[in-house]
Amino acid sequence: WDGHAIIFTIGNASTLASSHPRDDDVQLFSVLAPIGGCTSHSGQLSKTSINAARSKCDVAVNGSPFGKNGGCIGQGLSNGAEVCSDCDVWDGIPSLGLLTANRGSDSIIEEGSAWVVGTGLNCTLAKSMGILNLISGHDPGWLVRKGRIIPERNGGDNDVIAPRTAVGISGDGTRLILLVVDGCEHCPDFMGGPQGLTISELALEM
């Protein structure tokens, strides 16, 4: 396996309770495939809000990267099914998945489950580990690793101001952290210019 992974075992499940708990509340982590599916070269772009509403999600963010034609980038799993049948692993880019406490069951966030974050995680390996939901990260890769900020200001892509989405795991493995930054990468000056965060600023926030 040409990669590196960190496994965070989840402890007391009570720390994972929803901010709006229900009597029948079940904590699930799911990766939703794009509506209409995708390949490495084409796909149907859809709004996160529409996909989330169809699956009755409490919280949802946009996921793996995609190309200009809507094609998926990187390998992912949605409840055990491959999101993109012809996508390759994105070398050096970390992925995130949930290793369930009871192999083969739904991706329930519970005591004994574990978050797996690392590079080189392909669908075959992930499924053999018991991961049913896997999502790929984006270039430039790691934002924070072992508590250390990775990206540096370079006058290039790392300093582009744009909307951002990031996902991380707390140091004790009990919390999945989702950060969404609204903005506009190509807004003209009369609209206030680019808005959002640079990659370096995003890493600092995480």
Distance CA 169, CA 38 (A): 28
At which residue do the structure tokens 């890769």 appear? 141
Distance CA 65, CA 94 (A): 12
- Segment of 100-109, 111-120, 196-205 carrying the highest mean pLDDT: 196-205
pLDDT-based confidence at 18, cuts 50/70/90? very low
Name the least confident of 11-20, 60-69, 104-113, 124-133.
11-20
Q: Which pLDDT score is estimated for 24?
A: 46
The pTM (predicted TM-score) of the whole model is 0.78
- Segment of 5-19, 76-90, 136-150 carrying the highest mean pLDDT: 76-90
Q: Which pLDDT score is estimated for 11?
A: 57
Give residue-wise pLDDT tens across range 36-69: 888 989 887 778 888 888 888 888 888 878 887 8
For residues 45 and 70, is the Cβ–Cβ distance under 8 A?
yes
- In 31-153, beta strands by DSSP E: 77-78, 81-82, 95-99, 114-118, 131-136, 144-145, 148-149
Residue 129 CB burial class (10 angstroms; 0-12, 13-18, ≥19):
middle
> What average pLDDT does this structure show over 163-187?
82
Q: Which pLDDT score is estimated for 82?
A: 92
The tokens for 152 are: 């540096």
pLDDT above 70 for 154: no
pLDDT above 50 for 23: no
Q: Which pLDDT score is estimated for 118?
A: 85
Residue 126 or residue 146, greater confidence: 126
pLDDT-based confidence at 19, cuts 50/70/90? very low
For residues 38 and 70, is the Cβ–Cβ distance under 8 A?
yes
pLDDT-based confidence at 151, cuts 50/70/90? confident
